[in-house]
Structure 1
Amino acid sequence: MAARQRIVIAGGSLAGYSAATELTTLLPGSDIVWVTGEPHRTYSKPALSKEFMQGRSELAELMLPDIGGETKGLYTLRERQCTSLDVSARSIQLDDGSGIDFDQLLIATGASARMPDMLRGVGGVFSLRTLDDAMAIRARLERRPSIVVIGGGLIGCEMAASARALGLDVTIVERLGSLLDRPFGGAFGSHFLDLHRDNGVKIHMDATLTDIIIRDGQFAGVRLADGIEIEAGLALVGAGSQPCTEWLDDSSLAIADGILCDAYLAASSNGIFAAGDIARWMNPVYGLQMRVEHWTNASAQGRAAARNMAAATGRPELRKPFADVPYFWSDQYGQKIQMVGWHVGHDRIDIENDGGGMLARFYRDGRLIAAAGVNVPRAVMKLRRQIEQEAQGLEAA
């Protein structure tokens, strides 16, 4: 009788959850050990900066359905962290000193929030990446503090909009000359700046943070390079993120701003895959290596990695490259903001503005590669399908 295969999933993110769900169906004869790294069940992260932060949804509403337990061959280890990987021994080590051998491994340990050194460890300073972060922020918001948001990217702007929905005094400090510049490729100019200002947010653009004000051991404000001081009782930091690869430093896996993977989400060592925010894979749609930190990508990529892992155990018909057009959305002040595709490297933008909404198309060498929209959801999703169809045409050619 053949020994049961053991698959280890490292990380309790959506990618890990999606993979675990898929693997319990595809490989019912295997032992699947899921090291989640969190005390909670997997939860909806998009709601953390919006509905949950505003108190419009509660904890139970964030939780994703339970996958099931040992009856499906799934063994879940909560609150245990992966600390190292021994590729040659096919084993991972945990923070309690134990080890787990594996036949195949999926790494889905996600990404962590960047924190500027001067703000690290200061009371009253929070990033937003996990449910624990969100609960801590929500508890502080009940004190009705004035708020400084450090960073005008997607998370920073969503947190600012949510705080304004609660009627709080909010200031954004952004080092660039526009808000949401990176995720939307600068397509909408001053629109997001005007949107936040029209809703009562004070904004400092092209601003450099030089110092912080601390009183009684707690954050009390910031100083900017131009001499301006902004007093506040709470700092919310949206300074980007970084993939959680530190525990893999001695593993010999190929890593460069994430785990380098091929089109099938396979890492540089046989039998090891990656999915979600930590995976930098070769996307056949664009012929580019990319790392995508969006909810929809993590869900789809976790399932795709699981199918490719199952393919390696005698089901080759499941093997398929992960060819995906990235997608994310944001809701701010009642506006539906969307982005599809990968705008990096575009050489032309066409923008339509009919007063009721805005639509931007990004091109490279005459090919549509991305689209963004404000209050035009159907048009954006139609362009997503067009990008997919054009990519399929290129592959066929």
Structure 2
Amino acid sequence: MAEIRDIVVVGGGAAGVAAVETLRRDGYTGSLTLLCGESALPYDRPPLSKQVLTGAWELEKTLLRDEQQYRDLDVPLRHVAATGLDVAGRRVRLADGGELAYDGLVIATGVHPRRLPIGHDLAGVHVLRGHTDAEGLRGALVPGTRLVVVGAGLIGLEVAASARGLGLNVTVVEPAALPMLRQVGSQIGAIIADMHREEGVDLRLGVGVDAIRGDGGKVDAVVLSDGNVLDADCVLVSIGAEPTVDWLRDSELTIGNGIECDEFCRAAPGVYAAGDVASWVNPRYGRRMRLEHRTNASEQGGAAAQNLLQDLAGGERKPFAPLPYFWTDQYKVKIQAHGVLAEGSDIEIVPGPAEGRWAAVYRTDGQVTGVLGWNAPTMVLPYRKQMLEQAMAR
């Protein structure tokens, strides 16, 4: 592989770290640079809404690798953001005014939180994505504080659970009829709603936010679309995320809901994408996907790196065809989901070996398409195996 002189990985998250580690493990010995837009070493994000917020972990424990491990890999970390890409000239433009030439490029810039058009100028209104966000939110989670969480997806509900454990008064506002509706469907969404109500969360479902009010520059209320007003000392806006692709708008890449790639994660000659930012054709389902799941980030970072090396060396690439997987920890419940949990599926609840342990099996036209475990990690494994053995879409 001596003919490959320079590989650049843009993005210091799980996908980017998996890419550089895979490149070295698979024998690439040339120049390899990891661009990190943040000042911190690359870190894991799922603990931010749980262990970090509750104080069980300090931020340092979320680091994916220490500095010595990057030195051992001979991977320089540059803490500078990419601001542009010249695909034809194979150059990445940097925020410090410099450029990096590359033979191969992996883009793993992830996503950034969506924001409401109102309220973010007020102190006490937060989003949660990175270390700085987690530090600010953790400092606000004082027992007795009135927290309003806008959005009942994974992060919003994890923060709600963490905050209840710390003794806060928590209200969750969600425009959909049920929490996690997009991720798990209505039947399981209703069970999740009951769990949060039993833990003392005030769920306001089927309602949006009209205004976030403040006094003296500090948030003090959230006005709902049904006219109700919620007193608030702290607000978390958790309404999803958008792929971080603005720096690529003037590039030759195809940008849709993320960077559009083929089944090999290839976006252009010498350019591959991985993780939350990548929209690729998953051969398992015969359609385009973009997954904001931690496991997928690592797996796709490795797969994109392997395919990039094969591409540059004229070797055979492998389609990236994972079975989607995510997990969430809320209160004393661990939810693990494999496959596609589509609304409208036929759902069978399979009791587990003890109370509070069960699996939900999702079927479409009699075929298992997904499985969700409720404190039941071993129960889901046979269904996962069955889905992996099913024929891929053509």
Aligned partner of 1:97 in structure 2 is 97
Give yes or no for contact 2:209–2:224 (8 Å, CA) kept in 1: yes
Name the amino acid aligned to 2:313: G
Give yes or no for contact 2:245–2:259 (8 Å, CA) kept in 1: yes
Aligned partner of 2:303 in structure 1 is 304
Tell me the CA shift for residue 226 of structure 1: 2.0
Aligned partner of 2:120 in structure 1 is 120
Name the amino acid aligned to 1:110: G
- CA spacing shift, 1:225–1:2, aligned 2, 3 Å: closer
Tell me the CA shift for residue 25 of structure 1: 2.4
- CA spacing shift, 1:100–1:175, aligned 2, 3 Å: same
Name the amino acid aligned to 2:276: D
Name the amino acid aligned to 1:76: L
Give yes or no for contact 1:28–1:73 (8 Å, CA) kept in 2: no
What does residue range 77-96 of structure 1 map to in structure 2 within 5 Å?
77-78=78-79, 80-96=80-96
- Whether 2:340 is the aligned partner of 1:342: answer yes
Q: Alignment partner of 1:203: what SS? A: strand
- CA spacing shift, 1:389–1:221, aligned 2, 3 Å: same
Aligned partner of 1:351 in structure 2 is 349
For normalisation by structure 1, the TM-score amounts to: 0.93
- CA spacing shift, 1:208–1:72, aligned 2, 3 Å: closer
CA distance in 1, matches of 2:343, 2:232: 39
Tell me the CA shift for residue 142 of structure 1: 4.0
What does residue range 220-231 of structure 1 map to in structure 2 within 5 Å?
220-231=220-231
Give yes or no for contact 2:341–2:370 (8 Å, CA) kept in 1: yes
C-alpha RMSD of the superposition: 2.0
**1:266-301 CA-partner distances (Å, limit 9, x unpaired):** 11x111000000011111211121000011000111
CA distance in 1, matches of 2:349, 2:206: 25
Structure 2: state its 5+ residue gaps: none
**1:324-356 CA-partner distances (Å, limit 9, x unpaired):** 111111111101111111234764333335653
Name the amino acid aligned to 1:272: V
What does residue range 210-225 of structure 1 map to in structure 2 within 5 Å?
210-225=210-225
Give yes or no for contact 1:50–1:158 (8 Å, CA) kept in 2: yes
Aligned partner of 1:68 in structure 2 is 69
Give yes or no for contact 2:10–2:36 (8 Å, CA) kept in 1: yes
- Whether 2:22 is the aligned partner of 1:22: answer yes
- CA spacing shift, 1:226–1:313, aligned 2, 3 Å: closer
**1:367-394 CA-partner distances (Å, limit 9, x unpaired):** 22211121221112331121111136x7
Q: Alignment partner of 1:38: what SS? A: coil
**1:299-325 CA-partner distances (Å, limit 9, x unpaired):** 1111111111121233725x2111111
Name the amino acid aligned to 1:15: A
Give yes or no for contact 1:127–1:237 (8 Å, CA) kept in 2: yes
**1:10-54 CA-partner distances (Å, limit 9, x unpaired):** 111110011011112224421111111111112221111111110
CA distance in 1, matches of 2:4, 2:313: 13
Aligned partner of 1:376 in structure 2 is 376
Aligned partner of 1:390 in structure 2 is 390
Tell me the CA shift for residue 70 of structure 1: 5.5
Q: Alignment partner of 2:17: what SS? A: helix
Give yes or no for contact 1:114–1:239 (8 Å, CA) kept in 2: yes
Aligned partner of 2:323 in structure 1 is 325
Aligned partner of 1:207 in structure 2 is 207
Structure 1: state its 5+ residue gaps: none
**1:68-121 CA-partner distances (Å, limit 9, x unpaired):** 34664422101x111111111111111111111111110000001111111333
For normalisation by structure 2, the TM-score amounts to: 0.94
Aligned partner of 2:364 in structure 1 is 364
Q: Alignment partner of 1:308: what SS? A: helix
CA distance in 1, matches of 2:205, 2:191: 14
CA distance in 2, matches of 1:383, 1:275: 27
Aligned partner of 1:293 in structure 2 is 292
Q: Alignment partner of 2:235: what SS? A: strand
